[in-house]
Amino acid sequence: MKVLVADDDPISVLYLQDVLSEWGYEVVVAADGLTAEAILREEDGPLLAVLDWMMPGLDGIDVCHNIRQAGMERYVYMIMLTSRTETEFIVAAMNAGADDYIAKPFIAEEMRVRVRAGRRIVDLEQELRRQATRDALTGIFNRGAILDVLQKEIARHARTPNFLSVIFADLDHFKGINDTYGHLAGDEVLREATRRMDSMLRNYDSFGRYGGEELLAVLPNCDPEGALAVAERMRSAMADTAVHTPYGDIAVTVSIGIASVNTADKADMTALLHRADGALYAAKLLGRNCVTA
């Protein structure tokens, strides 16, 4: 786990770096408040921070305050490092958004247990987030989370001429699989289907369970031809090999609808999904096990 150490005193930084890395943390260093805030705001920034109160530019209090105001998605646990331990200073630090404080000069063992307490909070927060955004059966995003991703991708690329594509996939005659092999077999098939289709996506694509056996992939920076190629690979990943389950080998195919928008053209999420859904419906009408745009 990454920890940010923000302190303008190089000796203090060296010591913190030393003890924290000895305890297995990856240490990121900032020598002033502005740099500290920028690092904490990075997309993959640290979840734990030890902030010196007195720093040039922004002080530790300012950093705490700004990070709490930033409305970031993840929670950053912040420990204030201060030589001022009178109650009013502690209250000010915690009011600014600090989670804890340590008196300077600190004792290594105390730093260790306080950082560990912070880590427990961060771990819990991440587990909660995982549970709130992931589908329990398949492990991919749930409906709310994948729609959130789509909405953010649309907003992120607004005004830049760039394609965004969505892929709607629905397993064919899935009800029949449940009826023939049972619901537990159906669950296995759904799990394996999402795994196979997910493996056809790029790193920065997202995949979610829109409804029962209806899956939605969001592909940023992907034009219609690219989406067609990915969808075709998803389709054949299902059609080419039956799913091996404890209840027998079960052949299952998937129908796919795709839609793309140029994000410079004020993309509307509902309209985009509607088009993909219409294409999926057309794929079903065409006899299933095919891709339609």
Residues that bind Mg ion (CB under 5 A): 8, 52, 54, 170-171, 174, 214
**170 lies in the binding site for ligand GH3 (CB under 6 A):** yes
**C-alpha angle 254-145-239 in degrees, rounded to nearest 5:** 10
- Closest CB to ligand GH3 among residues 39, 190: 190
Q: Which tokens in the block code for residue 289?
A: 């096990």
| Binds ligand GH3 (CB under 6 A): choice among 84, 104, 112, 284 | 284
Interacting stretch for ligand GH3, rule CB under 6 A, among 43-51, 151-159, 168-176, 274-282? 168-176
Question: Could you say which of 37, 198, 213, 277 contacts ligand GH3 (CB under 6 A)?
Answer: 213
Q: Binding of ligand GH3 at residue 202 (CB under 6 A)?
A: no
* 205 is a site residue for ligand GH3 (CB under 6 A): no
For residues 139, 144, 150, 154, the Cα torsion angle rounded to the nearest 10 degrees is -150
Beta-strand ranges (E) seen in the chain are: 2-6, 26-30, 48-52, 77-82, 100-103, 163-171, 206-211, 214-220, 243-245, 248-250, 254-262, 291-292
Residue number with CB closer to ligand GH3 (10 or 248): 248
Cβ(208)–Cβ(137) under 8 Å? Answer: no
Is 178 a residue that touches ligand GH3 (CB under 6 A)?
Answer: yes
Q: Which of 104, 143, 152, 288 binds ligand GH3 (CB under 6 A)?
A: 288
Q: Is 191 in the site for ligand GH3 (CB under 6 A)?
A: no
210 lines the binding site for ligand GH3 (CB under 6 A):
no
Which listed range, 78-86, 113-121, 185-193, 273-281, lies at the site for ligand GH3 (CB under 6 A)?
Answer: 185-193
The yes or no reply on residue 7 touching ligand GH3 (CB under 6 A) is: no
Parallel, antiparallel or unpaired: strands 100-103 and 77-82: parallel
Strand order in the sheet with 26-30: 26-30, 2-6, 48-52, 77-82, 100-103
H helix or E strand, kind and range, residue 119 = helix 108-133
Least distance in angstroms from the C-beta of 107 to Mg ion? 18
Instruction: Tell me the CB-side half-sphere exposure of residue 16, using CA atoms within 13 A.
Output: 29
Binder to ligand GH3 among 122, 171, 197, 222 (CB under 6 A)? 171
| Residue 225 annotated among the catalytic residues of the structure | no
Q: Is 172 in the site for ligand GH3 (CB under 6 A)?
A: yes
Please provide the size of the chain in residues: 293
CA atoms of 83 and 80, how far apart (whole Å): 10
Among 173, 244, 266, 274, binds ligand GH3 (CB under 6 A): 173
CB atoms within 10 A of CB 254: 27
Q: Which of 37, 125, 213, 214 is catalytic?
A: 213
Q: Which residue is nearest to Mg ion (CB)?
A: 54
Please report the DSSP string for 155-207 in residue order.
HHTTTS--EEEEEEEEETTHHHHHHHH-HHHHHHHHHHHHHHHHTTS-TT-EE
Stretch of 26-34, 56-64, 182-190, 216-224 lying at the interface with ligand GH3 (CB under 6 A): 182-190
- The rounded distance, in Å, linking the Cα atoms of 50 and 61 is 12
Positions marked catalytic? 213
Residues that bind ligand GH3 (CB under 6 A): 137, 170-176, 178, 183, 186-187, 190, 212-213, 284, 288
